[in-house]
Chains A and B, each alone.
Chain A
């Protein structure tokens, strides 16, 4: 190996460390904050690894503040909004791709550009008139603003790349449009559906702005619950960091295990709602 190549290798290794360390150090510090007793979190200079671990930070979060209720609220809102988006968005992506109605994607683009708060004002009033406030329904419905465009956008892109030959063959064999979709197009599109679902779940789970306006005390989702903890127990960092970690943990887990799908989906359209 020439000296120049060795130098290149060292430069590369150094660059990799520089690039990756902000992310790693942040999450390491987040974990550290969450397992340190109060004394260690308040010490200066800061301590990275404490002498004794304070698992009671996690116990405090899980037992208090309705954390379990909020977890299930998040699960219901994200789950319902994602499933519903898949139910309407996958066929729509198929229809748009097959009709080559690319101009309809403009609506998706507008949805992408619009700030989430702009939807909140009219929908908040609408929910108030219908009398839905106080239930989880307003949040489920408004999360569709996030999930439906993601699913349609990704599915249009996906169905455009799937081969038409099989579908044409099925039609010649006398299959109806619906049968072609159900038994030919849908099974091939499974990887695309996975991408759409993962991104919809993540961006719905992470959504905060809809919750702060629409959630009442019982209907908070996790991001809103965590935000409210900042305002009330500002002094104890341990439980706060533990709560933050618990909220984002499912998403980080999903990121690690489905990195390929996330990368594919984000580079295909990078549709994020809210």
Chain B
């Protein structure tokens, strides 16, 4: 509203004013066209062709897309991706919220400890993956030793089809809980002190305060965190590729890893491009579902209050 009134005041001048900022944007525009827009358009074109390295290119229309529903490996990879993403959003969200509540309190060395806590997400994923691979080792790995200390049986971790996805999710959770923590911490900082003070006078417990004051107020931040986490988890590549390469067999092969194999191991560029596009659409759909849930919750909250 404020912007509109300014525009109305100085309509002509405003136009000149705006246009004169274009030179600042043009270099970046060229770069974005080159490395983001061009690859996208080119990918759409390639996905409509039978395009293999070393053989002539043939226009095949939607044939690459029609291959997808009949490709068992793609279907399986889709389920792996959904399972992996669901767990990799849920666990960091729960743990990250807990960590944020803790880091919101005052205690000695808080800044330093927060620095240590965010190190996993900044560290080079491949280097991290390498050390986790050693820790997962069923014979010599430190994880099985830790399990034996508390009397639990040894696990095969990433070397067994049944436990590989949970094990990888554990690494992902370890790595990305800090990001959720930072986002939620930002939300906590924005909550005023008054509701807590009156709740304390009324004798509310810590849990009650969290459940009825903190949680509703940080919900928008939880959604942002869930959204970011979802986008990253779906695309997760480095950790999975470096630890299992999609194995054992194809037990941890997500769409992103399958895409890599199709495009850069089998060099089936056309089909790979089709997978890349469907994959992008899947991410957008998942993001839309999250937005829809947010909207619904918003409405039901408003309804409950009215």
Residues of A within 8 A of B (CB): 8, 12-13, 15-16, 19-20, 22-24, 26-27, 29-30, 33, 41-46, 87-89, 91-92, 94-96, 98-101, 104, 107, 110-126, 141-142, 144-145, 148-149, 152, 177-178, 181, 202, 205-206, 208-209, 212-213, 222-224, 226-227, 230, 237, 240-241, 243-245, 247-248, 251-252, 254-256, 259, 262-263, 266-267, 270, 272, 274
Contacts and interface: CB of A to CB of B under 8 A. Distances in A.
B21 A177 contact: yes
Given A12-B102, A181-B24, A33 B134 contact: yes
10 smallest CB-CB distances across A and B, nearest first, come from: A95-B24, A92-B28, A244-B127, A122-B42, A95-B25, A118-B276, A248-B124, A91-B24, A122-B39, A248-B127
B25 A241 contact: no
Contacts of B135: 29
B276 A144 contact: no
Contact of B130 (A206, A230, A262): A230
Contacts, number: 258
A142 B122 contact: no
Given A213-B264, A230-B130, A144 B122 contact: no
B12 interface: no
B193 interface: no
Contacts of B43: 118, 121-122
B127 A29 contact: no
B161 to A, nearest CB: 21
B118 to A, nearest CB: 7
A202 B286 CA distance: 28
B24 A110 contact: no
B118 A263 contact: yes
15 contacts: A42-B140, A88-B30, A99-B18, A113-B280, A114-B40, A115-B280, A118-B277, A121-B39, A121-B46, A123-B39, A206-B123, A206-B126, A248-B123, A255-B123, A272-B232
B182 interface: yes
A27 B128 CA distance: 9
B119 A119 contact: no
B24 A26 contact: no
Given A33-B134, A115-B276, 13 more contacts: A23-B116, A44-B145, A95-B21, A121-B273, A121-B276, A141-B35, A208-B237, A223-B124, A240-B130, A244-B124, A245-B127, A255-B118, A274-B237
A251 B272 contact: no
B127 A88 contact: no
Nearest to A213: B264
A15 B260 CA distance: 41
A122 B27 contact: no
B86 interface: no
B114 interface: yes
Nearest to B3: A100
Nearest to A272: B232
